[in-house]
Chain A
Amino acid sequence: MVTTALPIYTKKDFQTDQEVRWCPGCGDYAILNAVQSVFPELGIPREQFVVVSGIGCSSRFPYYMNTYGFHSIHGRAPAIATGIKVARPDLEVWVATGDGDSLAIGGNHTIHMLRRNVGIKVLMFNNRIYGLTKGQYSPTSEFGKKTKSTPFGTADRPFDPLALAIGAGATFVARSVDVFQVHLKETLRKTAAHRGAAYVEILQNCNIFNDGAWNDVTDKEVRSEHVLELEDGKPMIFGRNRDKGIRLVGIEPEIVSLGNGISESDLLVHDERNPNPNYAFILAQMDSQPGFPTPIGVFRSWDLPRYEDVMAAQIRDVTAKRGPGDIEKLLRSGDIWEVPA
């Protein structure tokens, strides 16, 4: 086998000549920047990447990535990506999707792709709104939200995307934020390193139809009080003065102040490789309670056999047992008889 040295890529190698057509100030630019920065570092030939998307603002992503790309139809990216990855396990398949694309019209494909643990990395840009259709509420919009299609407020409760992913059996679940470039890039690196299905929620601002949806998380003044950065093996501490922590009482998380007899050793220590999905589920549900911070980082990272590998192994095993398929034998299988001339 001839080995050729991998070209040394720069961010530019992953940019296309297509004009990027997101609204000025859209969070998608920051995500594109992070992905184009991380891909060159991964040591993977550019032609091995396939970026697949559905429909929505986020789904324009493939046009701007100088890799193989497939801008498909609404909600179906995980299904198309599954076909690609099962047919060609050697490829690096990434999906760019949004809260509507992934959780509304594409919810079924999302959960089944995760359940099967197909080695696909999903980047779900969550802006809690339908942007491309100009401002209807999405499955992650907060209860009661007034939008173009709900002038008197929504009547449905939102999904927590990561709780859904964990419930579907996702082996890698993470959250980052469009404007947290360092954190986002690090999250992308960890995502790339995971072999199985990865679901990454990226909190993203739509400055036109839902501006400031994530202000609590991104606003410099308040964010240290509202964000809990998960670090594997480290106690859960947050707050401007890093004086607050999370403790687990039974299965209920509790906010405690450090000092007054409470030390770091009393806090919950993050264990992203905890085999029990209930642990990650507690983290995913935490900020649905008032006063609790929003965790970011890797919630769960767990190795399970990938669907495509199990399929390939089946083919190998059966072939070893029966021998490689012989077309003439196949045609003549079952009872056959001769009609003489």
Chain B
Amino acid sequence: MATLTDSEVQAHKRQKIDQAVIRFAGDSGDGMQITGSQFTNTTALYGNDLATFPDYPAEIRAPAGTLPGVSGFQIHFSSGTVYTPGDAVDVLIAMNPAALKMNVADLKPRGILIVNSDAFKETDLRKARMKENPLEDHSLDAFRVFPVELSRLTRAALQDLGMDAKSMDRCKNFFALGMCYWLYNRTMDSTYRWLEHKFEKKPLLVEANKRALRAGYSYCEATEAFQISYEIPPAKLAPGTYRNLSGNQALAMGFVVAAQRAGLKLFLGSYPITPASDILHEMSSYKNFGVLTFQAEDEIAAISSAIGASFSGDLAITTTSGPGMALKTEALGLAVATELPLVICNVQRGGPSTGLPTKTEQADLLQALYGRNSEAPIPVLAPASAGDCFWMAVEASRIALKYMIPVIILSDGYLANGAEPWRIPTLDEIPEFHVNFAHDAENFQPYSRNPETLARPWAIPGTPGLEHRIGGLEKQDVTGNVNYEPLNHEKMVRLRAAKVDAIVAEVPDVVPAGDPDGDLLIVAWGSTYGSITAAVTAERAKGHRIGHVHLRHLNPLPRNLGEVLGRYRTVLVPEMNMGQLVMLLRAKYLVDAQGFNKIQGRPFKVAEIKAKIEEYFEQKSPVEAAQRS
């Protein structure tokens, strides 16, 4: 594939390439997330496939210009299929020395580096703990460096608008955005529309940002700064209507749709926590869908209120991240004991404790499966991509309601904030699932069971004749009365486990991507899907026989998984943790699966997975050679 860095610098011309990776990096006050999402929107509308990776600090505003305050937004877009936000970047926009220092290592050799040269004064350098000015000391000679006076040029463009210097400086990100639009031959229309909507009541800001955007664009045109611009034709996506979607948006929409398909009201009990809060924000805006969002006093009240709403007949959801999940543990056990439908989203982040609030990790799998006192099994689902979060929200809701059981969704920070083009489904692609509340007072028993699903009846308050009591004390089978008898307890423990096992009927059999058998099987779950798919595709092209199983159901596991594991000589399990799924596979299937672990708060790069695969085939070769001889 031709990439930008392969191209020769010539007199200004337009060159067609297949893909590019851009990263906007600046101070967390520089508006890098907005700049990135505007470029994303424009790129999506143009028709490229894409993936994004917002990377922002936990501090809202660390001291301006310092290293901890650097915020970044990366986008990978292509005329082909995009699986990840990209490993190395072709174009880096660095708004200050700190942003340069934190990001330049990811810039490809000969990559384009646009820097705001106004921000490289001695004080700026000192804040970034730099002794030398990198624009002068030849340390950037490997790159095509474009120092641009972003601040001065932006002020010049806005000077007659009567704004103060600070307000004008806030528009310099749009100057940089304008440059990128020129560089990739993009129109400014969708950003214009966004500005007009966003600052509807502040026409001065609309005008100022539009001007800054145009000024950046014109600057490239007039100065021929880059000499070359690039064209990345639209991708051949499956036909349909598309939109951009992040994992958190997808979960929020998925729940609204699930409630509608189930004919229930939707209740969300939540407490603000990064990186899950956006689900609460989204859902709180859906008032005209009848969605009740309750911002509770703490994580425990958040899940408890959801349990109350579930008892009362709503589709009840609670959303959180690791530390909040820890607080919800006891209430999760209550939901298991009372056998009420509930969906719990854990948008995982780095830990332990407060850990890395804005960084991604997959280390809450064992917590989801086993992190409660006693035997308290809960089904666990894991979306593989941002768009998949929508489907997992629907699926988790469906299972919760059908089986009268709490269900955990394990998303993570990477899926939550990363966006991808998503084909909008038609309503008939989304399953409909009817819910039957109990009405029959004659034969009512709170803990009688549906023979197929083992679900108990959902008898909601207000139904005459079905008055009954539930709670956390052990129940007598069928009657639901408090019961401490030894054999009853064992029966109930086994029934609760059998109920989770019964859900395997809903879990599709595993069909490995790539080779159906062979040398190497990669088994993974969650947000690693993109990088593994890209790596496996590339390595198979070299003739290696590799399969890839990406588990979306982690409890119960697909019925045929054991058989599939047996079809390959080696099983490799990449995870952003110390080896949790691999431990489960080894324990359950007695297979010598190997872990491949990255715990850096960042997703796997495609190159890292590829290197691991190649390492395996290099090791294997001498053995094979020996066998052949």
| Chain A residues at the B interface, C-beta cutoff of 8 Å | 16, 18, 45-50, 52-53, 55, 62-63, 65-73, 76, 78-88, 90-91, 108-109, 112, 311, 314-315, 318-319, 321-325, 327-328, 330-341
User: Knowing A48-B461, A70-B308, A86-B294 touch, does A332 contact B466 (C-beta < 8 A)?
Assistant: no
Given B260, B291, B312, which contacts A88 in the complex, CB threshold below 8 Å? B312
- Offer 15 A-B interface pairs, CB within 8 angstroms, sorted by A: A50-B311, A67-B467, A68-B467, A68-B468, A71-B470, A80-B305, A83-B311, A83-B316, A88-B462, A108-B298, A311-B292, A330-B286, A331-B257, A339-B47, A339-B242
The answer on a CB contact under 8 Å between B305 and A18 is: no
Instruction: Mark contacts of B447-465 with chain A using CB atoms, 8 A cut-off: 1 yes-contact digit, 0 otherwise.
Output: 0000000000000011111
Q: How large is the interface on B (under 10, 10 to 19, 20 to 34, 35 or more residues)?
A: 35 or more
The answer on a CB contact under 8 Å between A335 and B41 is: yes
Complex Cα–Cα for A212 and B464 (A): 42
Q: Which 8 residue pairs of A and B lie closest in terms of their CB atoms, listed nearest first?
A: A83-B308, A71-B471, A325-B289, A83-B305, A79-B304, A69-B469, A318-B287, A79-B301
Complex Cα–Cα for A73 and B376 (A): 15
User: Knowing A47-B462, A336-B243 touch, does A87 contact B297 (C-beta < 8 A)?
Assistant: no
Instruction: Mark contacts of B324-362 with chain A using CB atoms, 8 A cut-off: 1 yes-contact digit, 0 otherwise.
Output: 000000110110001000000000000000000000000
Give how many A-B residue pairs fall within 8 Å (CB-CB). 212
The answer on a CB contact under 8 Å between A72 and B243 is: no
The answer on a CB contact under 8 Å between B289 and A66 is: no
The answer on a CB contact under 8 Å between A79 and B467 is: no
User: Knowing A332-B241, A335-B45, A338-B241 touch, does A87 contact B288 (C-beta < 8 A)?
Assistant: no
Any A CB within 8 A of the CB of B290: yes
Q: Which residues of B have CB within 8 Å of A332?
A: 241, 243, 424
- Residues of B417-459 at the interface with A, using a CB-CB cut-off of 8 Å, are 423-425, 427
Any A CB within 8 A of the CB of B595: no
User: Knowing A330-B256, A335-B244, A337-B241 touch, does A84 contact B301 (C-beta < 8 A)?
Assistant: no
Complex Cα–Cα for A227 and B247 (A): 61
Complex Cα–Cα for A80 and B305 (A): 5
Instruction: Mark contacts of B278-316 with chain A using CB atoms, 8 A cut-off: 1 yes-contact digit, 0 otherwise.
Output: 000000001111111010111011001111111111101
Q: Which residues of A have CB within 8 Å of B238?
A: 339
The answer on a CB contact under 8 Å between A318 and B269 is: no
The answer on a CB contact under 8 Å between A315 and B472 is: no
Complex Cα–Cα for A68 and B294 (A): 23
The answer on a CB contact under 8 Å between A327 and B243 is: no
Given B47, B190, B253, B308, which contacts A87 in the complex, CB threshold below 8 Å? B308
Any A CB within 8 A of the CB of B239: yes
The answer on a CB contact under 8 Å between B309 and A83 is: yes
Complex Cα–Cα for A324 and B256 (A): 13
| Chain B residues at the A interface, C-beta cutoff of 8 Å | 41, 44-45, 47, 190, 237-244, 253, 256-257, 260, 265, 267, 269, 286-292, 294, 296-298, 300-301, 304-314, 316, 330-331, 333-334, 338, 423-425, 427, 461-473, 481-482
Taking A84-B461, A335-B243 as given, write out 18 further A-B residue pairs in contact, using a Cβ cutoff of 8 Å, ordered by the A residue number.
A47-B461, A47-B462, A47-B463, A49-B461, A49-B467, A55-B472, A63-B471, A63-B482, A69-B468, A79-B297, A79-B300, A82-B304, A82-B305, A84-B312, A90-B462, A315-B291, A327-B289, A335-B45
The answer on a CB contact under 8 Å between B467 and A325 is: no
Given B45, B313, B427, which contacts A327 in the complex, CB threshold below 8 Å? B427
A76 to chain B, nearest CB (A): 4
The answer on a CB contact under 8 Å between B330 and A73 is: yes
Q: Which residues of A have CB within 8 Å of B466?
A: 47
Complex: chain A residue closest to B243, CB-CB: A336
Q: Which residues of A have CB within 8 Å of B424?
A: 331-332, 336
Complex Cα–Cα for A172 and B103 (A): 59
Which of B308, B338, B467 has the most chain A CB atoms closer than 10 A to its own CB? B308
Q: Which residues of A have CB within 8 Å of B298?
A: 108
Complex Cα–Cα for A82 and B300 (A): 12
The answer on a CB contact under 8 Å between B465 and A73 is: no
Complex Cα–Cα for A83 and B303 (A): 9
Complex Cα–Cα for A323 and B289 (A): 9
Given B242, B427, B470, which contacts A336 in the complex, CB threshold below 8 Å? B242
Q: Which residues of B have CB within 8 Å of A62?
A: 469, 471
Q: Which residues of A have CB within 8 Å of B333?
A: 73
Q: Which residues of B have CB within 8 Å of A72?
A: 304, 307, 334, 471-472
The answer on a CB contact under 8 Å between B304 and A337 is: no
Q: Which residues of B have CB within 8 Å of A48?
A: 461-462
The answer on a CB contact under 8 Å between A339 and B240 is: yes
The answer on a CB contact under 8 Å between A337 and B45 is: yes
B438 to chain A, nearest CB (A): 12
B46 to chain A, nearest CB (A): 8
